Amino acid sequence: MKLHEIGLYAADPAASRKFYHDILGLRLDHDEPGLAVFDGGWPGLEIGACSGYPDRVHISFIVDNVDRLANGLRARGVEFKGPADVHLGKRGILLTDPDGLRVLIQSPTDASPEWLQKMVD
């Protein structure tokens, strides 16, 4: 069994489409009124493992260089926290989507486990 999708509620689907496509740069695979489907890459599912965000859902993306991505987002006036060192030897930034959902973007470092480093090869 493999995770097929993560469905996120959007109070304003157009604002969420703009955030995930125009700001984060995810490829839009399907677009119709009220529904946008993005290619998010390899998903992971964490259940009860995120004690830093009690009672909240988050979505996390992995990139090869979060510092370079952060510089580009900052130049476009996008607000976020970080970059900062996070668990498993990663560096990451934290954004909030139009519905208040936490969006993490992280990159592995040489201190990250090998399996994690392979995700961006």
Domain boundaries, the chain: 13-120
User: Smallest Cα–Cα separation from 37: which of 11, 9, 2, 5?
Assistant: 5
20 or 3, which is more confident? 20
- CATH code given to domain 13-120: 3.10.180.10
Q: What is the total residue count of the chain?
A: 121
The pLDDT tens digits of the residues spanning 36-59 come to 888 777 665 555 555 555 556 778
Specify the pLDDT at position 45: 53
Q: CA geometry: angle at 47 spanning 41 and 51, to 5°?
A: 110
Is the whole model's pTM more than 0.85, yes or no?
no
